[in-house]
A and B are shown apart, each in its own frame.
Chain A
Amino acid sequence: MRIAIATVQVPFIRGGAEMLAAGLVEAIRQAGHEADVISMPFHFYPVREVQRSMEIWNSENFAAINGYNIDLAICLKFPTFYLKHSDKVAWIIHQHRAVYDLWDTPFTQGLSDSDEGKQLRKEIIQRDTHAFQGFKKVFTIAKTVSHRLHSFNQIDSTALYNPPKLANYFYTATAEPYIFFPSRLETLKRQDLLIKAMTYVKSPTVALLVGEGGQRPHFLQMIEEFDLQQRVKLMGRISDEDMLAFYAHCLGVFFGVHNEDYGYVTLEAMLAAKPVITCTDSGGSLEFVINHQTGLVVEPEPEAIAQAIDQLYFNQKTAAQMGRAGLERYQSLNISWENVVQKLLY
C-alpha cells in the first residue's frame, strides 16, 4: 500500500508530534508498505491565517498526487482532517486546543474575547465534527484526547498508544537515592513543583532534572533561593545512553506536569521498572499510573510531593515492587508500533 501521513508543523521545532510522525513512517515501512509524511507550516495567529490553512487542506485532494495513487491517508493534526480522500484514518495527536480545552483560559484570552475568535471556534467545531464523520476510523494518541473529542464533537474514538523512542533499550538497576525528572524546562512541565517539594523532603533523596528550556534561569534562581544546590541539579541535555542509565538507577520518576495529553516520561519510567509520582491534574499519566500500585498520585502541592518522595525512600522494597508492577502493566497494554500499524492499516 501507499500511505500518506498528513500533518502540519511549526518549522524548526521538533517535539513529540514530529517524533511520532517519524516513528509511524518507519513502522509502516518496516511492515512493507510505502509511506511518506506530507506536511505544511501552520500559523497559530491571526485568525485569518488559521482559516487560510483550513481552506488549503480542504482543497487538497489526496486521491492521487502527480500520478501516484494514494491508498490511505492518515491525518494527525488539525487542519489536515479536511483533506479529500476516500480512505481517511485519523490518529489525532491533538485538535486545535485554542478553541477547545484552552478556550476561555488565560492561554487564549485575546481569542476568546473577540468576535472573530468566537466565529472561528464555531466554524472549527462544526467542520471538525463533519470531517470526523467521514473518517473510516478515528483513533487518538491518548484517552485525554478521546475524552475531549467526545465532549466537544460527540465523536467516539479509540486511544492508540505508541511506544517511546528508545523502548527496546530500557533496563533497570539498583535504586540510588535520587528522583529523576526529564522534560523541557517549561512552565507547563512544573519543575518548580519538584524544586519546592525538595525543601520539605526529610530523607536524603536528591532530584536530578534533565532538559533544556526557557525556564532554566528561573529554576536556577529558585534552587539558589531555597539553598538547594546540593539537593537539586539541572543537568541540561544528556545523551540517550545517559538517559537510559539515569532512568535505570533512579529511586522513582517525577512527572507532575499540567494536563499533558500523553507523556512519554510515564511510559519510560514503566519500561525502566520505576515508580512514578504524578499529580491529580497531570492528564495522560493518570491513564497509566495506578495509585499505590505502579506509583503515587498526589495533589499538585509541594508538601504532598515531598511526602511521596519520602515514602519511596523509606519503603524501598515497596517502591521497587511498584516499579516492577509498572513494567508488567506496560507489557500488558500491548504498546508497540506493530500494534499501531495493524490498527491504522487493517
Chain B
Amino acid sequence: MIESNNSEINVDRLIKKIREEVASRQPISGRNLETIKVASVNQTLTINHIENLLHNAQLKSQIRTDFPKKLNRFPFSLSQPLQKLVLKLYSFLFKEQRAINFSLIEAIRESLTLNRKLIDQVMDLQGQVMDIQGQVLNLQGQVKEMSAHLTVTEKHFKEQLHAMDERSIKNDSYLKNDLTQQKRLITLFLEKAQQRFPEPFSPEQLQTLVNEYPHQLDAFYVAFEDKFRGSREEVRNTLNVYLPLIENAKLGTPESPILDVGCGRGEWLELLRESGYSARGIDSNNVMVNECHARCLEVSQGDAIAYLQNLPDHSLGAVTGFHLIEHLPFAVLMKLFDETMRVLQPGGLIIFETPNPRNLFVGSGDFYRDPTHVNPIHPDTIAYIAILKGFMNAESYFFAEQDNRSQLLASSNVKFDTLESYLSISRDFALIGYKP
C-alpha cells in the first residue's frame, strides 16, 4: 500500500518485496488448468462443411431423369429416344449402388448428429472445468486472505502478550522482591539463632543482622524507581546522549572498562553492551542486582566506595553514576571523587548525572519526592569540586532537545535571567570531566 507521507522509497527493498511475492506464487509452468480448451467454434464450422458435402452427395446419388444439358445440343439432340433407353439401363444397373449410397449417407448423418452431441457435452464439461477453475481461484484468494488475517491477529496477540508481560512484571516484582528479601532476613536470623542456641546472639552475629537491615527497603526502592524514574525505554533514550563521549574518548575496551556506580536496573550497562563496550556495574540494592543478573549484566552487589577502594590504580577507562550522587552524604561524595581519580587511567572519563535544582520544579519540590535523596547538588558546586579534585575540562551540562534528540548544553552558556529560563531548563544535569 502506498503511504503518501512516506517521502523516501527504498528501491531495492521494493524490488525485493515483489520478488518475494513471486516466490510465494505458483510458477507458470505448473498451472495446467488453463490449457484445457476445445476449439469448438471451428468444429461447428467443420461440421457445416461436412453437411454440405453430404447434401451434394445426396443430390448426385438420386435417380437421373435426364442427361447433362450440354448433350441436348446438336448432334446429340437427335438421339433422344436412345438417351431415354440409356438412362433406364443406367438406373437399373446402379440401383443397388444407389441403395448403398443412401444407407452410407444416412449412417454418416447419424454419426454427425452423435458427433454434435459429443461436442455439446465437451462444451458442457469445459464450462464445468472453468467453473471449478473459478472456484479454485476463489478459494486460493480466500486462503490468502485468511492467512493474512491470521498474521495480523498473531501480531496483535504477541503485542498484547508482551504488554501484559511488562505489566505483570511491574506489578508482581515488588511483591516477589519484598517477599524474597523478608525470607532472606528470617532465614539468616533463624540460622544465627540455631548456631547459638540456647545462648543469646554474639556481637558479630548481631552485626551481620544489623548490616542486613538496610536491605529491608530494597524492594520498595525498586518499585519506587519504576514509578518515578521512568520506564526502561525512556531511561535508555535519555542515556543515548552520552554514547558519543565514550566513542570520542576511545574507552570501553577490555583494557579500559567502564564502571557504572549505582547501576540500578542496568539500562546504561545494557546500552553499552549493545554498542560493543566493555562495562560492569555495582549497586547496593539486592533486588536491582538480581534484575541485572537476570539480564546477564556483570554487576556486583556492595558499597560503591568500598568497591572502588579495592580496585588497583589506573584500572578503569571511565566511572559513571546516574542519579547516585544526590544519595550520598557530602563526605562520601568527596571520597567518591578521590577514589575515582585514583582508579582512572589518564584521559579517563567521569559522568555523574543528578537532578537539576536550578529547574524550578525540581528545586522547589520534585527533588524531595525521593525519601532517600540527601541534598540537591548545584551544577556549579559539583563542577567546582571536580576541578578542585584535579579533573580536567570538568563542567556541568544541561540537556537541550534538538530535532527530537537530546543534546548536551554547557551550563556556562546558559543564562538564568528570566523566570522562563528556570522553568524550561532540563530537569537533570550531568557533570562531565576527564583525568589529566
For residue B18, which residues in chain A have a CB less than 8 angstroms away from its CB?
Answer: 176, 242, 245-246, 249
**A338 near B41: Cβ-Cβ < 8 Å:** yes
- CA A230 to CA B22, docked complex, whole Å: 23
CB contact under 8 A between A206 and B11, given known A245-B21, A346-B45: yes
CB contact under 8 A between A242 and B22, given known A166-B28, A175-B2, A204-B6: yes
**B14 near A241: Cβ-Cβ < 8 Å:** no
| Residue of chain A at shortest CB distance from B20 | A245
Chain B residues within 8 Å of chain A by Cβ, number:
28
- A240 is an interface residue with CB less than 8 A from chain B: yes
Contact with B along A236-252 (1 / 0, CB 8 A): 00011110111001010
Question: How far is the CB of A271 from the nearest CB of chain B, in Å?
Answer: 14
CB contact under 8 A between A204 and B7, given known A168-B34, A346-B45: yes
- A70 is an interface residue with CB less than 8 A from chain B: no
- A31 is an interface residue with CB less than 8 A from chain B: yes
- CA A233 to CA B41, docked complex, whole Å: 46
- B388 is an interface residue with CB less than 8 A from chain A: no
Q: Which of A204, A313, A341, A346 has most chain B Cβ within 10 Å?
A: A204
- CA A73 to CA B419, docked complex, whole Å: 99
From 1 to 60 in chain B, residues with beta carbon under 8 angstroms from any chain A beta carbon are 1-2, 4, 6-11, 14-15, 17-19, 21-22, 25, 27-28, 31, 34, 37, 39, 41-43, 45-46
Contact with B along A9-52 (1 / 0, CB 8 A): 00000000000000000000011100000000000000000000
Question: How far is the CB of B231 from the nearest CB of chain A, in Å?
Answer: 34
- CA A316 to CA B4, docked complex, whole Å: 10
Question: How far is the CB of A67 from the nearest CB of chain B, in Å?
Answer: 24
Question: How far is the CB of A245 from the nearest CB of chain B, in Å?
Answer: 4
Count the A-B residue pairs with Cβ separation under 8 angstroms: how many? 73
- A188 is an interface residue with CB less than 8 A from chain B: no
- CA A57 to CA B46, docked complex, whole Å: 32
Chain A residues within 8 Å of chain B by Cβ, number:
37
| Residue of chain A at shortest CB distance from B3 | A177
- CA A314 to CA B2, docked complex, whole Å: 10
- CA A176 to CA B3, docked complex, whole Å: 9
**B39 near A206: Cβ-Cβ < 8 Å:** no
For residue B28, which residues in chain A have a CB less than 8 angstroms away from its CB?
Answer: 166, 169, 240-241, 244
For residue A316, which residues in chain B have a CB less than 8 angstroms away from its CB?
Answer: 2
- CA A241 to CA B28, docked complex, whole Å: 7
For residue B43, which residues in chain A have a CB less than 8 angstroms away from its CB?
Answer: 32
**A206 near B14: Cβ-Cβ < 8 Å:** yes
Question: How far is the CB of B258 from the nearest CB of chain A, in Å?
Answer: 39
For residue B41, which residues in chain A have a CB less than 8 angstroms away from its CB?
Answer: 338, 342
Contact with B along A167-187 (1 / 0, CB 8 A): 011000111111000000000
- A155 is an interface residue with CB less than 8 A from chain B: no
For residue B37, which residues in chain A have a CB less than 8 angstroms away from its CB?
Answer: 30
Q: Which of B2, B7, B22, B46 contacts A251 (CB 8 A)?
A: B2
**B31 near A241: Cβ-Cβ < 8 Å:** no
**A174 near B9: Cβ-Cβ < 8 Å:** no
**B27 near A241: Cβ-Cβ < 8 Å:** yes
For residue B34, which residues in chain A have a CB less than 8 angstroms away from its CB?
Answer: 168-169
Contact with B along A243-287 (1 / 0, CB 8 A): 011100101000000000000000000000000000000000000
Which A residues are within 8 Å of any B CB, using their own CB?
30-32, 166, 168-169, 173-178, 204-206, 208, 230-231, 233, 235, 239-242, 244-246, 249, 251, 313-314, 316, 338, 341-342, 345-346
Which B residues are within 8 Å of any A CB, using their own CB?
1-2, 4, 6-11, 14-15, 17-19, 21-22, 25, 27-28, 31, 34, 37, 39, 41-43, 45-46
Q: List 30 A-B contacts (CB under 8 A).
A: A30-B39, A31-B42, A166-B28, A169-B31, A175-B2, A176-B17, A176-B18, A177-B2, A178-B14, A204-B6, A204-B7, A204-B8, A206-B9, A208-B15, A230-B10, A233-B11, A233-B15, A235-B15, A239-B22, A240-B28, A241-B25, A241-B28, A244-B28, A245-B19, A246-B18, A251-B2, A338-B41, A341-B42, A342-B41, A342-B42
